[in-house]
Structure 1
Amino acid sequence: MKRRFILYRRKLGGTFYIEDTKTRKQESLGTKDRAEAMSLLNARNESFRQPHLNLQIAKAYLTGTDSRVPTRTWQNALDAIIEMKTGSTKDRWQRAAKEKALDLIRDRVIVETQAEHLLASLKAGTVSTNVHLRKLHNFCISMNWLPWPIIPKRLWPEVRFQPKRAITVEEHKLIVEREKNPERCNFYELCWHLGGSQSDIANLKAEDVDWPNQTIAYARRKTGSLAMIHFGEAIEAVLRRLPVAGPLFPYLQSVRAGDRATEFKQRCEGLGIKGVSLHSYRYAWAERAKQCGYPERFAQEALGHNSKAVHRAYARKAKVRLPSLESYERQAAEGRIIPLPQPSSETERPGHLGQTVG
């Protein structure tokens, strides 16, 4: 039988190459050692001569470095990745691992998986399936449990999230009016006024409130960054109704984030409100801040955002109408706008804020 591939060596550099006798395509073997090049050549020709044995041959080679290659399943990979996670991230992975769409590949050996198998799971699943299966696939490659990607990075189906929007003041008022539980009612009020994530607000403590300076400061549970916000009369009225020591929301702090989200969803469905979640309060705060001209750096500090890009993403749907300079100057003179720090005399040179406009 005629060989599909032939071996040759380039004079310049001495590297061995193979050539496909059918397509005349040439490929470097990346070696200058003849014995190694012959082994690669024989393996390539053997793969075309007996294609039904390719997988078995590959498993035999891989078993030499990892004895579990022939038996490791996607469920084993899920168990491994869950074991490495902590906190809320671990909870999310545990929920993701139970998705029915993953049953299509759960007990399949990883190295025996074809692209069609993953695509079938993606088709049967949701956005969450796409996100977590993609991460699981990359995890297996990083752990050398997969010799190469099953689906190339550029060919993975695009993750399409549902449209996100801010909750309106009218919707918020309806929810608060309908809510009979005082703790939940106060929780929704603080979400509206503080714009924090539901976990951050639910875990607030009385010690986080600085009454003399009228500020609330806390470390974000997601990023660890500091969020600090000055409060006025509306927030003060809510805080006065809450415990003076310990957790501000004892019950809501004790339940899972998913349970808080479910309770809120049920309340919205009862009122016919669609397209919002507890996180919509965060979008609403960012949009309100942008619409009223609240300085972006103040909003970043209040929301606990480390980057301007994140804050702008939250407020991207805000409808803004810029005030006239005359109106803005009048409000500044009346003390209704917090002035920016004035530069020192040393910085008053061309290219700085202190430069005189002539």
Structure 2
Amino acid sequence: MKQKYWLCRRKNVLFSFDSETGKRESLCTGDKEEAKRIIRAKNDAATQPAINISIARAYLVGTDPKLVERTWGFVMREFCSVKKESTRLRRERAIKSKAFNSIRNKRLVETTAEDFYTVLKSGGVFTHHILRCLHNLALGMGWVLAPVIPPKLWPKIEKKFKRAVTLQEHQRIVQSENNIERRHYYELLWEIGAAQTDAANLTAANIDWENRLLSYHRQKTGELCMLEIGPRLESLLKNLPSEGALFPRISQLPDRWRAAEFRRRCRVLKIEGISLHSYRYAWASRAKRVGMPERFAQSALGHASLAVHREYAREGVAICPSLENYEGKLVSVHTAEKPLAKAS
């Protein structure tokens, strides 16, 4: 194995020379024998971990020959090999981030916590999420024998606050939009709170006029969303095509193009902090504010998890109605008071 530290002298001063970095460090001694002992100790300290790793590799190869060869690039490719196209494309875009370049060709068995911290410092919240997914995949498949970073020691992330679209902002967006199809698209998002792709893919077949219902399956989860058609939604739907796609042009655009167009509209109006997804937050908040039961709101938005739904509706404030008014709505029932027990 290549020796890392060498003894060198310069102007009667003894130094240790690092053959890997090219740096010199004073040994603070003029005794050559003592300097040799220091160099020998430094080399032993540097060599022993490498020997231990070589021994460990020999044992690992016996159980799984590829265990010492797999890199994080291999894990990334496996992470992206999912059947759902939208998920695959999103993951492929995520792993192209420059933050992952430092570990892309790094072997899994050689990865340390410092390598992960380098990635985390280079990226943001989404990088943190993807790195943790990669780590969990490798750990679950047995490609990593122990956690690189223990679960409780992962840095805490501060998610960027995502707020709902307000009624005033929605009205400004709709009034300033000259494209009729996009205007109707934004109005539908306000009325049903659908994800932008789900709303864009709606067709006339999703409308049941006989039972006054609008239903569709979420592209992301497959959950069924079903809403009753009210007067305002009915008026909007009757302005849309009665056959085929409700939004013929918008449905053909990639989701990032729709998001970019909405972002441009917001910049023109100087509206900050919202995206097309903010319409879902707005719908959930409005439902909470008017006291709609959570099971109905979950069904309308396609949320299987109550915790997820409550995160969406966190901006809404449910105002408790007057108890007096509630008592007035109840049917009065005469109940006789029980007689007090006589004292013995």
Report the identity percentage: 47
Cα separation, 1, equivalents of 2:54 and 2:47: 14
Deviation, structure 1 residue 48 = 11
Which residue of the partner structure matches residue 304 of structure 1?
A: 302
Deviation, structure 1 residue 329 = 7.3
Which residue of the partner structure matches residue 60 of structure 2?
A: 62
Contact 1:194 1:285 in 2 (8 A): yes
Deviation, structure 1 residue 212 = 2.1
* Structure 1 segments of 4+ aligned residues over 6 angstroms from their partners: 329-333
Question: What's the CA shift string for 1:75-119, capped at 9, x where partnerless?
Answer: 111112212452222112101110010011111112111111111
Which residue of the partner structure matches residue 238 of structure 2?
A: 240
Which residue of the partner structure matches residue 102 of structure 2?
A: 104
Which residue of the partner structure matches residue 176 of structure 2?
A: 178
Mark the CA change 1:205 to 1:328 in structure 2 (over 3 Å): closer, same or farther: farther
Question: What's the CA shift string for 1:229-284, capped at 9, x where partnerless?
Answer: 11222212221221111111122222222222222122112211111111111111
Which residue of the partner structure matches residue 263 of structure 1?
A: 261
Contact 1:227 1:303 in 2 (8 A): yes
Cα separation, 2, equivalents of 1:275 and 1:332: 44
Larger-Rg structure: 2
Which residue of the partner structure matches residue 207 of structure 1?
A: 205
Higher mean C-alpha deviation, range 292-301 or range 190-199 = 292-301
Contact 1:131 1:159 in 2 (8 A): no
Deviation, structure 1 residue 49 = 9.1
Match of residue 294, structure 1, among 292, 316, 321:
292
Deviation, structure 1 residue 320 = 2.8
Mark the CA change 1:210 to 1:328 in structure 2 (over 3 Å): closer, same or farther: farther
What letter is aligned with 2:311? A
Deviation, structure 1 residue 331 = 8.2
Deviation, structure 1 residue 330 = 7.4
Which residue of the partner structure matches residue 16 of structure 1?
A: none
Matches within 5 A, 1:1-358: 50-325=48-323, 327=325
SS in 2 for 1:313: helix
Cα separation, 2, equivalents of 1:141 and 1:244: 51
Unaligned runs of 5+ residues in structure 2 are 1-44, 338-344
Mark the CA change 1:296 to 1:264 in structure 2 (over 3 Å): closer, same or farther: same
SS in 2 for 1:227: strand
Cα separation, 2, equivalents of 1:331 and 1:296: 22
Mark the CA change 1:116 to 1:85 in structure 2 (over 3 Å): closer, same or farther: farther
CA RMSD of aligned residues (A): 2.6
Deviation, structure 1 residue 326 = 5.1
Cα separation, 2, equivalents of 1:210 and 1:329: 38
Mark the CA change 1:151 to 1:307 in structure 2 (over 3 Å): closer, same or farther: closer
TM-score, normalization by structure 2: 0.78
Task: Count how many residue pairs are aligned between Structure 1 and Structure 2.
Answer: 292
Cα separation, 1, equivalents of 2:299 and 2:201: 19
Cα separation, 1, equivalents of 2:287 and 2:234: 19
Deviation, structure 1 residue 124 = 0.3
Mark the CA change 1:187 to 1:69 in structure 2 (over 3 Å): closer, same or farther: same
What letter is aligned with 1:216? L
SS in 2 for 1:277: coil
Deviation, structure 1 residue 198 = 1.2
Contact 1:166 1:281 in 2 (8 A): yes
Cα separation, 1, equivalents of 2:223 and 2:336: 38
SS in 2 for 1:242: coil
What letter is aligned with 1:68? K
SS in 1 for 2:81: helix
What letter is aligned with 2:135? H
Cα separation, 2, equivalents of 1:255 and 1:188: 15
